[in-house]
Amino acid sequence: MEPPVRGLGRCASCFWLAVAFDVLGLLVLLVGVFVNVFFYDLLIYAGAIVIFLSLIWWVFWYSGNIDVPPAELQDDVGLLKKPRGFTALRGAVARLSGRVSSGFRTSLRRTGGARSSARSPGGARSPADPLVDPQPGHVTVAMATLGPPGKGPPDGAETSPT
């Protein structure tokens, strides 16, 4: 068994980072409060944010120093043998899950929900048929940029004869 950790614990770097963030945040905050500068509000908010961020390092330091006895840790990492009924239940759940997911896959195949495109691998259309989609049910819509009524087309826009 390991001897207990003394002093700052195992995560001394997190401790010193937390202290540094606290000191820096407090200095910035106090400069914003007591020094007459035109950006005092920025300093006050920045100091408060840096002090808040120091909480992350305090949590890391604290959680890194939690001691868990090996007897309590064994159950959490799966070192203890599970009862026989548990593995049977897990197998039944896995079989049920497989049946449900295969049912979804076959229903998608029947209804056509997961179709593949008949286009070329790059998704490009053939030059002979640029506006026809090979999949039934799809609609091709042509769109154009229009300006305000009564004015010509926007700058740089080309007009096509109709």
- Residue 27 is which amino acid? L
Residue 50 covered by a domain: yes
Lowest mean pLDDT among 6-20, 26-40, 64-78, 131-145: 131-145
The pLDDT value given to residue 47: 97
Give the residue-averaged pLDDT of 35-60: 96
Residue with tokens 């004869």: 161
pTM score: 0.45
Does residue 26 sit within a domain? yes
Instruction: Answer yes or no: is 9 within a domain.
Output: no
Mean pLDDT of the chain: 77
More confident call, 83 vs 24: 24
User: Where in the sequence is the domain holding 36, given as residue range(s)?
Assistant: 19-54
Is pLDDT above 70 for 118? no
Chain-centroid distance of CA 65 in Å reads 28
At 27, the pLDDT band (50, 70, 90 cuts) reads very high
**Six-digit token string for 91:** 């197998």
Total domains in the fold of the chain: 1
In a domain, 40, yes or no: yes
Do 38 and 70 touch, CB atoms closer than 8 A?
no
Length of the chain: 162
Residue 53's pLDDT band, with cuts at 50, 70 and 90, is very high
Is 120 a residue whose pLDDT tops 60?
no
Q: Distance from first CA to last CA of the chain, Å, rounded?
A: 89
| Whether 27 contacts 54, CB under 8 Å | no
Structural contact between residues 43 and 37, judged by C-beta atoms closer than 8 angstroms: yes
Q: Residue 111 carries which DSSP code?
A: H
Q: Indicate whether 138 pLDDT > 90.
A: no
Q: Decide if 131 is inside a domain.
A: no
Res 129 pLDDT > 90: no
Find the angle CA(110)-CA(137)-CA(113) to the nearest 5 degrees: 25
What is the model's pLDDT at position 25? 98
In a domain, 25, yes or no: yes
Highest mean pLDDT among 53-62, 67-76, 92-101, 132-141: 53-62
156 confidence band (pLDDT: 50, 70, 90): low
Q: How far, in Å, CA of 102 to CA of 82, rounded?
A: 29
Residue 88 within a domain: no
Is residue 41 one of the residues assigned to a domain?
A: yes
